[in-house]
Structure 1
Amino acid sequence: MLDERAANLLRVILSNRLVTLKQLEQQTNCSRRQVQYDLQKINNWLGEQKLPLIVNKRAHGLMIEEEIRRFVPKVFEFEPNTYAPSHEERITMILVLTFLKKEYLSLNHLTQVLRISRNTALSYVKLANSAANQFGLQIEYSRRNGYYFSGNELDIRHLLLKRLANFIQNPNGIKLLKEIFQESEEVISFQSHYEKIYSSLICIEKELNVTFVEEKMMELATFFTFLFERVKRSSFSLFPGHIEDALENTDFLNVAMIFLERLEITLPPDEIMYISMQLMGLNIRYHHELFQKENDGELHKVLDEIVNEFEKLACVTFANREQAIQSLYMHIRPAYYRMVFNIPISNPYLSRIKKEYFDLFILVKKSLKRLEEYVKVPISEDEIGYIALHFGSFLKSQGLPIRRKRAIIVCPNGIGTSNMLKSQLEKLIPEIEITKIISLREYDFGKESEIDVVFSTVFIQTNVPLIVINPILSAIDKARIIQEVDIILHGSGSIHPNINSLLQVIKLFSTVHDEEGLSRAIADILVGTIAEKIGRYKPVLNELLTSEMLQLEERVDSWEEAISLAAKPLLETQAIDQEYINAMIQNVIDLGPYIVMAPNVAIPHARPEQGVKKLGMSLLRLKSPVCFSSTNPDKKANIIIVLAAVDSETHLKALSQLTELLEEESNIAHLIAANTVEDMLPVIMKYSHKEKE
C-alpha cells in the first residue's frame, strides 16, 4: 500500500525521464530522508507487483524501466479499503458529508467513512469547523439532528464550492467523493449523475455558442452533483430582492431553465436563479461574438482603463492593444459576475504565480483598482492571479520564429494559464513550434502523426513523446523541460557532475565551514545552470537607483530640461544615448503629461529600441516643481525618475518596488525634503527587498 506522499512521489518520478534525488526534494518539498524513505516504499510496492525496481544510478539520477511506465498507470488506482486520506482531504470529506447529510450524521458515521478512531474524528470535526468559520459558518451538533451547518445557505454553498475546487485537483479526489456520495445515496451512482450534468453543460455551450473552460466545468458539475441531492431534502430562500432583479434581467435565467429541463429536475425559482448565477460565473475559453455585446460597453471602458494603467505602471506598450483587451475580457466578464454575486473561485496555482511572477502580480493588482471601484467589492487574490497570467502572456509574446519541430499543449485550464504556458515554452525551447493549445476533450489520437511532442499539465495516454509540466513553470521546471526535449529530440541529456565529488575536491583546497550549505549551493548551480540562462536577473530598486544615479537641484526652466537633466547619469554611464532622451521628450509632446503618475512624481520613458543600451534608472529631485502641461497645473513634479528598460520584463521587480515606495506620500515628501543624496538612500533601501523571487 502506498500512502499519499509516496504515491505523489511516484507520480513525480514518472513525470520525468531523468531526475535526481535533489530535484525530487525540490519538486515535492520533502527532505532527502523523506524522499529516500518513500522511494523504498515505492520499490517495495513495485516488488509486490512483480515490476523492476527504481535504481538511483550515480551521475545519471533515477533509472525507470519502460515496463514501469507502461504498467503503473494501469494499476496505480485508488483502493477505498487501503488508501489513507490526507489531512486536508479528511477535513473536506467532513464538510461534504455535513453538506450532503441525508438524515442524522453521527460521530460513528464519520469514523466509518474516514476509517479513523472516535478521538481522531472529533479532532477533525474541530478542524472542519475552523474551515467553516472562515465563511461565517458553524458546524453544530444536536442529539436530534447530529452534525449540521449553522449559517447562511449561500455561504454554506460558497464553502463547499471552494473546497471541492481544490479537492478534485488531488489525484484521488473524485474517487473519494464517489465513496462519500454512495454513503448517502444508494440509488444513483455518482458517476452517472456527474456525467449527465457534465453532458448538459456541454449542450449549454452549444446553446450559447461558447466554449467553457474544461477545468471549471468539472468543478461545477461536481458541485451540482452534490447540490441537487441537498436541495431534494430542504428548501431555501437564497436571494435578497436586488440580486433577484439583476438575475432576472439576464439571458442566463432561460439558459438555467433549459439546463434543468435536460436533467429533468424541477426546482423553485430561487434555485433556478442560483443555477443561472453559477453558469454566469463559468470561465469562457473563447467567444468572439460575446466580446461585441453592446450592453457591456461600460465594462469595455473599464478594461481599457485597466490596460492603460498597467502600461503606465509597467512602463510598457502592448503591440496589439485591442487583442490584449479582448483576451482580458474573456476572463473578466465571468469574473465580474463572480464578484457581483460573491461566487468563490479557487486558483490552485496562486502560490506559484506569486512566487514566480511576484512583480507582475503586484502591478496587475494595482492596475485592477478601477475594476474594484466598478464592481464595488474587493477582488480576491485567486482572481488577480488568473488575470496576471493574461497580462503575462502578452508581455512574453514578442514575435514568432520560423517553422520548427511541432508540439501541442494539452491544458484543461483557462486561456490565460494556457497562453502564459505557450509563451514560456516558445522562449524556452525555440527549436519547437507550439502549434496549438487544446483541452483534454479536443485531443485527437488520429492526428498524432502531425506532432513531435505533447506538453500536458496532466498525464494522458499517447503514442507521441509526452512531457508532463506544471501550469506555472519554475526555474527548475524550465531546466527539466530543456533536458527532456534534448532526450526526446536528440537522444541525449545533460549529465550533472557528482555533488559529493565536487565537494571533496573543494575541501582539498579550502576550509569548508558549512558543508551542508555548500552542498546545497553546488546542487543549485548544477540544477539551475540552464535555468540561469533562461531568464535574466531582475535587479531590485537600490541596485538601479544607486547614489551615482541620484541628483538634487533647486529648479529648472522647463520640463524638457528636467527630463534631459534627470537622464544625464544614464547618458554618462552609456546606459542610453541622446536618441532616448529625444524620444522621451517627443512622447510627452505627442501623448501629453501621462508620465506624471503620482502626486509630484513623473516617470518619463520610451521604447527600448529608441536608444537603450542597458537597463538603468535615475532620479532628479527639484525643490521647485516643474509643470509638464500648459493647460493643467496639477501635472507638476518635484521628482523625475527616468526609466531605461531593455525589454518588457527585466525592470518589473525594481518598478514594482518603486510603485510601493511612491504609494506612501510620506516617502515622496522625504525625497523632496532631502538635503543630500545620502538622505534618500534609506527610503530606497527599505523597498529593495530580494526575498520575493
Structure 2
Amino acid sequence: MDNDILSLIQYLLATPFSSLEDMEKSSGVTRRQSLYRFEKLNRILKGEHVPAVTFSSTPDKKILLAPETQTALQDLLQRSGGKEAYFFSKEERLIYMYLLLFIHIDYLSLNHFIDALKCSRSTVLADFRELKAHLEESGIEICNNRKLGYYLQGPEVEIRRFMIQNVIRTLADRHGSQLFDTFIHDWKLDLFGYARQIIAELAQKWNIRMIEARLVEFIYIFIFLKTRLQNGVQNTLPFPDQVETETIPSLKEYDFTTDLLKQYSETGVFDESDIRYLTSWVIGISYGRFNENTKDRLLIGRMAKNIMLRFEALSGVHLTGNNKIFVQLYAHLRPAYYRLLFRLPIYNPICETIKNEYGELYQLMTETLKPFSVMFHGEIPDDEVAYLTIHFAAAFSKARAEAPVRRKKALVICINGVGSSTILYNELTQMFPELKFLPPCDTSHWEDLRTEADIIFTTNQTPLHTADLTIPVIRVNPVMSVSEKAGINRKVHQWLGTRVPSQPDVDAVMSIISKYAEIRNYDHLYHELLSYFSEAELPDTPSEIRLHLTDMVWPEIISLHLHASNREEAIRMAYAPMLQQHCILDKYVDEAARTESGYMVIAKHIALPHTKPEAGAISCALGICVLDEPIRFGNQENDPVKYIFALSAVDNSTHLTAMAELIRLFNDQDFFTLLDTADDPDEVMAYIRSHL
C-alpha cells in the first residue's frame, strides 16, 4: 500500500462518520483523486473478503463502513506498521513544515521536507505556497538563501504566536498529540514525558495548580520554543509598556520558570524577556487564587471589580456584593490578564456556540471589555470574551436556580359585592395564569388585603380613596367584551414587563377570507374570530421571559428637548414619565439619583442610570431623555451627558436581550442624530423598530 492509501485508512478509522467532502478537505485532494483512492482501497478490501467502502445517496455523500470493514482496516494498518506508520493529512503537513522552520536547524533544505513528510517534490512545493499565504496574514515570511536554507522572518512575537496557535488548535481538534510526538521523535527533541515529570515536581514545590489540558499545550510549546532558542535565534521580544510587568520577577511562577530552565542544558540563551514570557504562560495555564497575597493581587482584583461594575452599568444587572462571583472572576481573570499582556493565544472550541447560545450576554461582555483593551494595545480576542461570557452565564444560571420563584399577587374588587365578582374572577384567572389571585373582595374590605397585592382589578370606575396607593389599578367591567379583554391583556403584560402572547391579525385573516369566499355577516365573523384567537390556551407555567427593546420603550416614556440645571434634576426628569406609567416607585428614582454618577456614564455623552430591583422597580422599562444642553455628571472621560436612558429592571435576566439591542443602537450614530432632531417620540419608536 502506498502512503495515500495508508493516510486514507487512518482518516477513516479516526473519523468514521465523515463525508466524502470532509475527507477531501482534510487531505487536500480533488473529487477525482479521492474517488481514485477509494477505488484502490476497495480493491484491497475485496482481497480481504469484506464489504467495500460506500457512500450514502444524500447530497453530502456520507462515508459508510460496515463493522467487518472497519475491523479489516484496523488489521491492514497494523500489518503496515501500526501507529508507527503515521501519515499526515494536508493540514498536518503544513503544521509539521512550520514547526521544522520554527526550530531553526542549521541548514534547512527542500530535501529535509521531502524526506520527513514522505511526499513528492511537487506536493511539498504546493504545500509551501499554501503555508506562505497563511503566514503573510501574520506578517511572517518564508525566506531562503545559501547560508541558512529555509527560515522564518518577521516579528518574533508573531512567529511564536503562530506556533502556539497551531499547537493549541491541533490538540483541541484532534484530542491527541501524535503529530507532535512524531515530530519530536523525528528531530530528536526533548521527550514529552521527561518535561511533564519535571513540571509536575516543580508545580508541587511552588504550589501552582495547573489546568490539565493547558499543561499539555504548555509542554509542547516549551519544547519547541526551547529548541528554537538553543538553535541560535536571538531576537529579544518587544516588552509591553505597562509598569505592572515589573512585578513578574516577584511572583512564584517566575521562580518556577527559572527552576524549570535549570533542569536543561544550554538554557542560558533565555534572556529576561524570554523568562517573563514563559512565566506569563505558566500563569496563563494556572488557576488564580484570590486568597494568595501576590504582588499583582491588587491590580487583578481592581480589574475584576471594574469589569463587574461596568457590566452592571451596561446591563442593569447587579452583582456587586456577591463575593463568590468576584472570587470566581478573579480566578479566571489572573491567567487571562497575562495571556493578553503578552498576546498569548488561546483556542476556545465552543466560542461560536457561546455566541449563539448566549448572544445577548456575549454582546454585553464585548462592550464591557472595550475600555480594558487599551491596557493590552489591541482588541481582546473573541475566544477570551467567550470564556468570560460563559463565566457570567454560569453565575446567572446559579442565581436563577437559587432564587425563589415569586408569582405576583392580584386582587379583584367588585363594587357590587363578592357574588357578582365570580364571573370576573374566573375570567381573569384564565387570562393571567402567571398571577396568583387573592380571594375576591368588595370595596368595604379591600384595604385589609391591599398590602398583599401587587396589582388590583376593580369594577369601580371612580378612584380608590387612598393617598399612598403605589400599585397599578386596572379598571374592568364585570363582563368583558373581546376587545376589552385585548386591551386589559396589553396593560397587564406591559406592567409585568412581558410580551403579549402573539395572536393572528384578525383584519389580515378577514382580508384573506374575503378574497375567496362570500361573507354573509361580516361583523359576526369578525367578532367570532377575535374571540377565538383571544381565547387561545396559555401555558400554565410561562417559560423564561426575554424582552426586546420595543417591549421596554414606548412613546409615553420618551422625553425630547428637555432642560435640566444639574445631574440629579436630569435623572429625575428622565424617570418622571415612568413614574406616571407605574413602572417604578418614587423610592426607585431617589435611589437611582443617589448612585455614583461616574458609574452610570457608560460612553461619550451617554448615561444609563438604574438601581437594584428591590428599590422599587414594578416593571421592565427604559425611558429615553434627550437634553438640549448637556450636563456634567462627574465622569472626566465621557462628560458632558446629553442622552439619558433610564432603566427599570425587575430581575437580572428578563431585560438582557433588550440591553444587547440597546448597545447596538449606541454604535449607530444616526440614532443619536435622530434624537437630536426629532420632535415627536413616535419618530424615535419608528427608528428603533426599523433598526432592530
Alignment TM class, shorter chain as reference: 0.5 to 0.7
Post-superposition CA distance 1:464-502 (Å, at most 9, x none): xxxxxxxxxxxxxxxxxxxxxxxxxxxxxxxxxxxxxxx
- 1:131 counterpart residue number: 134
Deviation at 1:194, TM superposition (A): 1.0
Deviation at 1:168, TM superposition (A): 1.3
Is structure 2 residue 578 aligned with structure 1 residue 567? yes
Whichever residue aligns with residue 649 of structure 2, its letter is A
SS at match of 1:643: strand
- 2:660 counterpart residue number: 656
Count of aligned pairs: 501
* Cα distance in 1, alignment partners of residues 118 and 363 from structure 2: 44
Change (3 A) 1:32 1:245: farther
- 1:684 counterpart residue number: 688
- 1:461 counterpart residue number: none
Is structure 2 residue 58 aligned with structure 1 residue 33? yes
Is structure 2 residue 186 aligned with structure 1 residue 183? yes
- 1:110 counterpart residue number: 113
- 1:165 counterpart residue number: 168
Whichever residue aligns with residue 264 of structure 2, its letter is E
Q: TM-score, normalised by structure 1?
A: 0.62
- 1:641 counterpart residue number: 645
Alignment map for 1:126-275 (pairs within 5 Å): 126-142=129-145, 145-171=148-174, 173-185=176-188, 193-239=191-237, 248=249, 251-261=252-262, 263-268=263-268, 270-271=270-271, 273-275=273-275
SS at match of 1:672: helix
- 2:421 counterpart residue number: none
* Cα distance in 1, alignment partners of residues 98 and 149 from structure 2: 14
Change (3 A) 1:240 1:656: closer
* Cα distance in 2, alignment partners of residues 236 and 635 from structure 1: 48
* Cα distance in 2, alignment partners of residues 631 and 200 from structure 1: 51
Of 114-123 and 206-215, deviating more is 114-123
Q: TM-score, normalised by structure 2?
A: 0.62
Contact 1:604 1:640 in 2 (8 A): yes
- Structure number with bigger Rg: 2
Deviation at 1:326, TM superposition (A): 2.7
Change (3 A) 1:299 1:180: closer
- 1:122 counterpart residue number: 125
SS at match of 1:649: coil
SS at match of 1:307: helix
Contact 2:329 2:391 in 1 (8 A): yes
* Cα distance in 2, alignment partners of residues 386 and 287 from structure 1: 15
* Cα distance in 2, alignment partners of residues 637 and 651 from structure 1: 24
Post-superposition CA distance 1:527-555 (Å, at most 9, x none): xxxxxx99846454345445576455756
* Cα distance in 2, alignment partners of residues 534 and 113 from structure 1: 63
Q: Determine which of 669, 676, 679 is the counterpart of 1:675.
A: 679
* Cα distance in 2, alignment partners of residues 42 and 610 from structure 1: 66
Contact 1:638 1:672 in 2 (8 A): no
* Cα distance in 2, alignment partners of residues 200 and 290 from structure 1: 27
* Cα distance in 1, alignment partners of residues 679 and 106 from structure 2: 75
Alignment map for 1:8-23 (pairs within 5 Å): 8=15, 10=17
Contact 1:339 1:377 in 2 (8 A): no
Whichever residue aligns with residue 279 of structure 1, its letter is T
* Cα distance in 2, alignment partners of residues 604 and 289 from structure 1: 31
* Cα distance in 1, alignment partners of residues 635 and 261 from structure 2: 60
* Cα distance in 2, alignment partners of residues 535 and 128 from structure 1: 50
- 1:278 counterpart residue number: 278
RMSD: 4.3
Post-superposition CA distance 1:217-262 (Å, at most 9, x none): 111101112233333322524245888977656554433221123x
Change (3 A) 1:348 1:142: farther
Stretches of structure 1 that go unaligned for 5 or more consecutive residues are 13-29, 52-73, 403-532, 689-693
Whichever residue aligns with residue 205 of structure 2, its letter is E
Q: Determine which of 595, 603, 616 is the counterpart of 2:608.
A: 603
Contact 2:336 2:384 in 1 (8 A): yes
Deviation at 1:162, TM superposition (A): 1.7
Q: Determine which of 88, 91, 95 is the counterpart of 1:88.
A: 91
SS at match of 1:140: strand
Deviation at 1:307, TM superposition (A): 1.4
Deviation at 1:343, TM superposition (A): 2.9
Contact 1:542 1:685 in 2 (8 A): yes
Contact 2:16 2:65 in 1 (8 A): no
* Cα distance in 2, alignment partners of residues 359 and 631 from structure 1: 27
Deviation at 1:215, TM superposition (A): 1.8
Q: Determine which of 584, 588, 599 is the counterpart of 1:584.
A: 588
Whichever residue aligns with residue 163 of structure 1, its letter is N
Deviation at 1:135, TM superposition (A): 2.8
* Cα distance in 1, alignment partners of residues 397 and 343 from structure 2: 32
Contact 1:306 1:368 in 2 (8 A): yes
SS at match of 2:65: helix
- 2:436 counterpart residue number: none
Contact 1:140 1:148 in 2 (8 A): yes
Deviation at 1:160, TM superposition (A): 0.7
* Cα distance in 1, alignment partners of residues 113 and 215 from structure 2: 29
Alignment map for 1:318-333 (pairs within 5 Å): 318=319, 320-333=321-334
Deviation at 1:605, TM superposition (A): 3.5
* Cα distance in 1, alignment partners of residues 250 and 571 from structure 2: 53
* Cα distance in 2, alignment partners of residues 342 and 595 from structure 1: 31
Contact 2:579 2:585 in 1 (8 A): no
* Cα distance in 1, alignment partners of residues 268 and 303 from structure 2: 36
Change (3 A) 1:562 1:84: same
* Cα distance in 2, alignment partners of residues 271 and 626 from structure 1: 54
Alignment map for 1:47-58 (pairs within 5 Å): 48=72
* Cα distance in 2, alignment partners of residues 32 and 395 from structure 1: 45
SS at match of 1:293: coil
SS at match of 1:122: helix
SS at match of 1:238: coil
Fraction of identical pairs, as percent: 20
Contact 1:153 1:236 in 2 (8 A): no
* Cα distance in 1, alignment partners of residues 162 and 104 from structure 2: 16
Post-superposition CA distance 1:439-471 (Å, at most 9, x none): xxxxxxxxxxxxxxxxxxxxxxxxxxxxxxxxx
Post-superposition CA distance 1:378-430 (Å, at most 9, x none): 4333332323333333222216669xxxxxxxxxxxxxxxxxxxxxxxxxxxx
Contact 1:565 1:620 in 2 (8 A): no
Deviation at 1:663, TM superposition (A): 4.1
Whichever residue aligns with residue 33 of structure 1, its letter is T
SS at match of 1:264: coil
- 1:317 counterpart residue number: 318
Is structure 2 residue 303 aligned with structure 1 residue 302? yes
Contact 1:252 1:279 in 2 (8 A): yes
Contact 2:287 2:332 in 1 (8 A): no
Contact 2:585 2:617 in 1 (8 A): no
Change (3 A) 1:554 1:378: closer
Change (3 A) 1:353 1:112: farther
SS at match of 2:152: strand
Change (3 A) 1:342 1:111: same
Change (3 A) 1:599 1:233: closer
SS at match of 1:619: strand
Deviation at 1:364, TM superposition (A): 1.9
Post-superposition CA distance 1:504-525 (Å, at most 9, x none): xxxxxxxxxxxxxxxxxxxxxx
SS at match of 1:648: coil
Change (3 A) 1:33 1:373: same
SS at match of 2:139: coil
- 1:353 counterpart residue number: 354
Deviation at 1:46, TM superposition (A): 3.4
